Amino acid sequence: MTNAIEQESIKVIVFQLADKEYAIPVSHVQGIEKLMHITRVPKTEKYVKGVINLRGVVTPIVDLRERFELPISKNEETTRIIIISLEDMEVGFVVDSANDVLDIAANSIEPQPEVVGSLGEEFISGVAKLDKRLLILLHLEKVLNPLK
């Protein structure tokens, strides 16, 4: 994420949340899972949906819609869990759908547009323009922290 600018192009996973498309570098993605049984963990933040059994590893799940304070959607066929690894943490993100793997040229990434009031702008590290699509690059450290 941090050295994305230095590279000529980066590979990202593109996913859908509400009506926008977001991107996470492939290097941080461990896998994409279909929605499975989530065990609720009491006394945690609202956006922490609970934990799942990911092939024997208990993995916490964060609902990105709730994290970004977007309206809650009902679970659909396309809903996916993207497993992210960051530093020593493994966390799953619930997204509306995971669409694509794309190469983004580094020079197409622009810093976050200065539109105040847009949803969760502190979680955005930049935007990439690709033909007619606009991809929002997530700032993973900020999405995951702080959790107190």
**Residue numbers of the site for other proteins (CB under 8 A)?**
37, 39-44, 48, 50-53, 55-60, 87-91, 144, 147
Of 59 and 125, nearer to other proteins (C-beta) is 59
CB of 87 to other proteins, least distance (A): 8
Distance CA 140, CA 64 (A): 11
Of 58 and 101, nearer to other proteins (C-beta) is 58
Of 44 and 99, nearer to other proteins (C-beta) is 44
CB of 147 to other proteins, least distance (A): 7
CB of 63 to other proteins, least distance (A): 14
Laid out side by side, the sheet with 89-95 consists of: 29-34, 80-86, 89-95, 57-63, 48-54
CB of 51 to other proteins, least distance (A): 5
Cβ-contact 60, 66 below 8 angstroms: no
Of 87 and 114, nearer to other proteins (C-beta) is 87
Residue 57 CB-half CA count within 13 A: 10
CB of 66 to other proteins, least distance (A): 15
Distance CA 141, CA 123 (A): 8
Distance CA 3, CA 53 (A): 32
Cβ-contact 38, 49 below 8 angstroms: yes
Of 48 and 81, nearer to other proteins (C-beta) is 48
